[in-house]
């Protein structure tokens, strides 16, 4: 017997989207929300990894800005950015792997 009630706040657009999805599936709003809440896999990303990637990207950005400043000041004639390119490639590969992992998890639902 269903004897508990749950109240949530949402925008008109969110309610409209919920109603559209539930109608497409020919479900009541209540049944649709229960199915979505109880049968969806929730993906939790490791925030430490994301923070590390963000930090690395920030450091690379700082390095690029420093190089640009030196170039604009005329203190650098030839810029060797192979190390920077290598680091950007590493970060890109990690982000791409993360994207693929999340996509794979979402497809398992």
pLDDT single digits (tens) 20-44: 989 988 889 998 899 888 887 666 6
Q: 73-98 pLDDT, tens per residue?
A: 888 876 677 787 788 888 888 888 88
What's the confidence (pLDDT) of residue 78? 67
Is the Cβ–Cβ distance between 53 and 63 less than 8 Å?
no
What is the residue extent of each domain of the chain? 7-40, 47-108
The helix (run of H) or strand (run of E) holding residue 64 is helix 47-72
- Look at the pTM and tell me if it is higher than 0.75: no
Mean pLDDT (the chain) is: 83
| % of the chain beyond a pLDDT of 90 | 19
Listed residue (33, 50, 55) closest to 99, CA to CA: 50
107 φψ region: left (φ > 0), alpha (ψ -120 to 50), beta (else): alpha
């Amino acid at each position: 017997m269903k004897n508990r009630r749950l109240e949530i706040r949402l925008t008109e657009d969110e309610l409209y989207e919920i109603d559209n999805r539930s109608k497409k599936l020919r479900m009541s709003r209540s049944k649709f929300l229960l199915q979505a809440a109880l049968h969806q896999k929730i993906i939790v990303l490791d925030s430490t990894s994301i923070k590390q990637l963000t930090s690395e990207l920030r450091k690379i950005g700082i390095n690029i800005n420093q190089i640009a400043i030196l170039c604009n000041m005329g203190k650098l004639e030839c810029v060797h950015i192979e190390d920077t390119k290598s680091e950007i490639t590493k970060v890109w590969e990690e982000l791409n792997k993360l994207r693929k992992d999340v996509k794979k998890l979402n497809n398992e639902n």
